[in-house]
Structure 1
Amino acid sequence: MATSLHYTFLSFFFLFTLLESTPNPDIAPLLAFKSASDETNSLYNWNSSTDPCSWTGVSCLNNRVSRLVLEGLNLKGSFQNLVFLKELRVLSLKYNNFSGSVPNLSNLTALKLLFLSHNELSGEFSESLTSLFKLYRLDLSYNKFSGEIPAKVNHLTHLLTLRLEGNGFSGEISGVNLPNLQEFNVSGNKLVGEIPLSLSRFPVSAFSKNRVLCGSPLPNCTAEVPREPSPSTGAIASPVSPKTTVASSPSSLPVTSATLSPKNTHHSSGKMSSLAIIAIILGDVLVLCVVCIFLYCFFCIRKVSSQKNGSHILEGEKIVYSSSPYPNTGQTSGFERGKMVFFEGAKRFELEDLLRASAEMLGKGGFGTAYKAVLDDGNVVAVKRLKELNVCGKREFEQQMEVLGRLRHPNLVSLKAYYFARDEKLLVYEFMTNGNLFWLLHGNRGPGRTPLDWTTRLKIAAGAARGLAFIHNSCKSLKLTHGNIKSTNILIDKSGNARVSDFGLAIFATPSSVPKTNGYRAPEVALDGRKITQKSDIYSFGVLLLELLTGKCPSVVDNGSGLATSYGGVLDLPRWVQSVVREEWTAEVFDLELMRYKDIEEEMVGLLQIAMACTSTSPDQRPKINYVVKMIEELRGVEVSPSHDTATDSVSDSPAVSEDNTCGAASQ
């Protein structure tokens, strides 16, 4: 015992020593957590030599860990060490094998979203959870918790989600009163007693598979509804006290010896008995009317209040990892119900599956917000929730989606499905695991960063060029364009290949969704407001190549040597490069991170010449994308993917879809 205590003391002493000695105090608890829980080395890039903000599942704010999302990684044991992450706002450990009781989380005073579902956690409802007053989402479902749901849960006044299904909770829930709840589920437990009025608005499925629950939305309670067995007698008592039982009609009165006496029998058949019955019936009707009016007013006020509070919370706090980032589609009064439309080869699911999926916000762009959605079956997709679209009607939108949905290429992010309704438009894409080019180039620059090497940059340039070539050549009669080429729209798949995303949406752009100061936009589009063309796509791609070469982002203010010229406060990367090359300082153009590699100067200069040709101010002088692909591949003999063959493959090989029908589905 003494040895064990001594070891524990030394462990905590070591942990606190690391907390004090390291620049980021979150490194020590994270590494201690990995050491204790990650037996399969799923968190392989967690090491003390790199920035923790670049580790798998870790996101930071002001250099402190603010979000930790580690789902389905076969992590085990306890997550006790995470209680030292004082700035943590989001913690999701779903679909792992954590066991034991929930550690004391009262230290995580900034925590807003907590997801612990589908583990092996046990014990009673942790009292420390009731002290996390900023919580909006709490999901403890599908574990092995037991005991009662404490009344202190009502202290969580901001709670929007409370999911406790699939556990062994017992006792009553009559004391639960959380006015802002939008999502609630206690099914599959051992709960008894009456459902409180505050929770009766939730569906039957939220209360099913319990021992004995009653009251709306379940059947009404009666005097015979059993409680838990009494510890002293083992008898099952009624949750309804005889003193509080109210008869709604004479037939419900208890039968006693007094009611069966001849005197009372004779009296009950008289005139007064009939009048009493009529009076009781009228009284019942009057009481029922009053109750109905009260309930109607109560729920109307509650609904308005809930909508106001929920909207304020979601917008004000900017929750980026919620149980459902999409609206309650199809359930709002007057809402036009749409449907999910899937393309060939896509795994199908229902809209409700998507609405239930846990979602992580990936980023916001001119056309909407993108989320990573994990469905109940483990399938992972990317969902773009569109906004500010200039769509004349459903037919126009569907026609364009039919064109985009048939584009299949190894260097494109495939559109799997779409959803259209008057107030909501969603696009479902395949999910890319390795992020986007922007973060590979610009994320976490400084000590400890792993730079993007030249071979990888050249591979990404070639892959992006092939993807753009397929878009430009897939439908000759329509002359499709991308319309929004930038580094955040070049995604990287699990094999390290570049995938072009967000293509074909510019047709729906509104003036407010197209920033004129976008550093990728061609001069004729940015200054004159001309229509986006394939030539303007070439210019944007040229800027992308310059970004790969220089390591500079064309969408940030230049604080450099002053050589850059800018419009609207945004670095005009092509002009800056031209000014440096004109002064014969060509070497100054290239990213310093590339200077460590040998024998690549010729290839870099070659790609620079291609980029400068693409960013010519005259659209007619810019090369076509097929020629750009050829020039990039010739720099180092980059191999063409076997599935690539030519850039002019048909949109669809289906005999039912002719090129005229496909290309004529929409117009640019």
Structure 2
Amino acid sequence: MEKKKKLIVCPHCFQTLTLTLILILHFPHFSSSSSLDSDLVALLAFKTLADSSNNLLSWNTSSSPTPCFAWRGVSCVQGRVSRLVLEDLSLSGESLAPLANLSELRVLSLKDNLLSGSIPDFSSLIALKLLFLSNNSLSGLIPPSLGSLSRLYRLDLSSNDLSGPIPLALNRLPRLLTLRLDSNRLTGPISGLVLPSLQDLNLSSNALTGVVPQSLASFSAAVFAGNPGLCGPPLASSCRTAASAAAPVPPAAAVISSSPGSKPEGIPSPMDEHHRRAGMSRAAVIAIVAGDFAALLVVSGLLFLYFWRKFTSKTRSHLQEGEKIVYSSSPYCSAGGATAGGFERGRMVFFEEGKRFELEDLLRASAEMLGKGGYGTAYKAVLDDGSVVAVKRLRDAPSTIGKREFEQQMEILGRLRHPNLVFLKAYYYARDEKLLVYDYMPGGNLFSLLHGNRGPGRMPVEWGVRMRVALGAARGLAHIHGASRSPRLAHGNVKSTNILLDKTGAARLADFGLALLGPAATARSGGYRPPEAPADGRRPWSSQRGDVYSFGVVLLELLTGRTASDAGDLPRWVQSVVREEWTAEVFDLELMRCRGIEEEMVAMLQVALGCTATSPDQRPKISQVVRMIEEIRCGGDPNASVSPTIESDSVSDSVSEDAPAL
């Protein structure tokens, strides 16, 4: 007799299927094979299940037959639903299942609603990058199928009623930056979690147990608070007690008998040790003593060397602390024009009225090295009256540069004044010492802002900040190029370390015009060198078209978050990615927190690729670049303060998915 097969029916799946069939019968055009039509069916099925409060009135096929126009919370890319952001709309019920059919969905945020039931299998959403379901009443397990969403950046399931373990399938998410599972009823260990890209983590207020893994120990203790069963750094509770209590009994202890005269096998008794020592030869004793003495001598010698080196280095450090910007001070302290040693005494030349100082004031100033560049070493100098200047020491500049040639170039640079340039205040010239004095920029440089302290706890640099820096630097470069000089003046060394930030956060170009003083040791390196620049770097070289290329590389740094040398050749890497129609993959992950910037990022990417064209004639002029960036910014305030901040995690005011392909 043939067994009757049991039909297992999922009531919610049956309900969804019924709604879908009803929609197809009532709207015949839905039965089309069009992918957008299938998205429409899924959205209407979700609305029927979830919108008991009737907050989605705009989801009406009679007034708007396609969801891509005027439907609340819905956005489309290339004719498919790509974003669904419905926050705090009192959506309810076990209604998530239809959304699994939105196969091109990139952002799904349903936070702060009343949704219940389990999280469905979303493995079909292969394009999903952001998933926010926090502050609902979802229950059941976290589905391991989430581990198949290889493009997922943010996952927030906090403040629900989820239970069970955290699935190790999440380790298959190489790009995951945010994982928030706090305020649930999750149990089990977390020792197996390995998420190397993670920047934002919260597992607090659960029932997790075991040791915090080393891969997560860099996060603060608050991340793991409210889990009494967790131990180990960064938590105050130690795991040693628990580990020792659970440690297995040594095999030797297991054979101890109740007889007082018995001893564990394999453990020598004091009497055995005595007999062993008594049988030791006299020669062996002498050898041991001699060996101990030799070891003592070696250790003493090492300690002596250690403390001697520490003492001498301390002495050198004291000398370095007192070291001034100009090391060979004695030749410049005489009253005459030339010293007995043949050194020429120079003079300080200032370009503006106001407070002035002499070389001796710089000699007395406390100096802090800011960094070494291709044309010398930069110092922060605090003068006796408390004023602060930046001094670039060109000691390594070729001594063959004539005084007249040097002074002519300084006169040109000293007259350049623009809000986006670092002013040259003064210079000092002698045959063996050349100093340039600039305004000090307290905000650091763009390289440090973009690439410094990447990892947990870093303050992301938002899109508006990057745009203001790009526009300011472009305006400064345009002023240099527009200066009426013959031959045409160029910066010669545009790179992110030469874009400084003043106290208001405005971008200012530094080190301009120094390329003509001589070839720099590191100039044109690190990925900024245009293809037409001399490869050997043995002669001075600069050009305005070359500046545009280098500035394009800086724009790519702002867009990708990569350093100019990360990919070997950053412009070529970006072009290869764009050719494969994966344009969104080039953008910095930190920009995923921003909203509504997709078109601006793509437009800026087009500007950057135009600037980095291989042929100099195909590159735009920097004045054209300024106009293009101004148009992209749509009349934003270019003088706004640059201060990187972290916005809230609400998709509605902070998060954006990737940009459409070019």
TM-score category (smaller protein): 0.3 to 0.5
> Which structure's CA Rg is the greater one?
2
Provide the TM-score with structure 1 as the length reference.
Answer: 0.46
Provide the TM-score with structure 2 as the length reference.
Answer: 0.46
